[in-house]
Amino acid sequence: MNDLEKNFRKVSETTLHEGFVVTYNQAVFEGPQGEVLERDVVRHPGAVAVVALDKGEVILVNQYRPALERNTLEIPAGKLDVPGEAKTEAARRELIEETGHDCIELTLLLEFHNSAGFTDEITSIYLAKELIPTEAKAVSIEEEYLTVIRLPLEEALKLTRDGTITDAKTVIGLLAIGLELNNS
């Protein structure tokens, strides 16, 4: 903890609503000189996502997102909602559920805070290599109707640049892989 962090102190936090995925809280903090900061804080269990590479192609899913009221093109992902499940196992579970692929090699690429201004959600992005076809196991209505799409990595990267792919975890994951491949 740095000196600046030591000067802020949480005074209270009250749960206003506990939802299916997130908990909506109101928190009060005290600043370095006694200032009072009231903030809305969304608590989230965290999520995992997978950049699945197979013979130069990335596996994406096109699925309906109710908050946006439209389909989005994304890397497979899901929330950490199974008690005691390791992040790597959650990533593997999501890969199987959404794409019908398992993998031999699964490594952590990076972790990021989705929107640090109001939520504690953190997403862990994994790289899956040496894919093994298996049976998809959809567990949600959206997953039942998603479409699996394979694209050359370079084409997927172009879709991030032209605004077709706007999902943050997907943009971050694809750009991270693109940078890693360019530096190797």
Shared-domain flag, residues 152 and 118 = yes
Query: Quick one: 141 and 161 in the same domain?
Result: yes
- Flag whether the pTM goes above 0.85: yes
Tokens of 124: 């862990």
Confidence of residue 49 (pLDDT cuts 50, 70, 90): very high
Q: Does 51 lie in the same domain as 32?
A: no
pLDDT for the residue 104: 93
Indicate whether 38 and 86 sit together in one domain. no
Same domain, yes or no: 70 and 147:
yes
Give the residue carrying structure tokens 């196991």: 137
Beta-strand runs (E) in 95-139: 101-113, 122-133
| Structural domain boundaries enclosing 79 | 47-183
Same domain for 115 and 26:
no
Give the CA distances from residue 59 to residues 78, 146, 179, in Å, rounded to whole numbers and listed in that order: 15, 13, 18
pLDDT at 2: 58
7 & 68 share domain: no
> Could you say which of 105, 111, 142, 155 is catalytic?
142
Domain at 109, CATH number: 3.90.79.10
Percent of the chain whose pLDDT exceeds 70: 97
Q: How is residue 142 written in tokens?
A: 């959206």
Same domain, 31 and 95: no
85 flagged as catalytic: no
In the numeric block, which tokens belong to residue 109? Answer: 């690429």
- Residues 61 and 92 both lie in one domain: yes
pLDDT in tens, 129-181: 999 999 888 888 888 889 999 999 999 999 999 999 999 999 999 999 988 87
Q: Is the pLDDT of residue 73 over 70?
A: yes
Residue 19 shares a structural domain with residue 81: no
Tell me how many domains the chain contains. 2
DSSP 8-class letter at 46:
-
Contact 156, 162 (CB under 8 A): no
> Rounded CA gap, 108 and 105, in Å?
10
The pair phi, psi for residue 149, each rounded to 5°, is -125, 130
Q: How far apart are the first and last CA of the chain?
A: 34
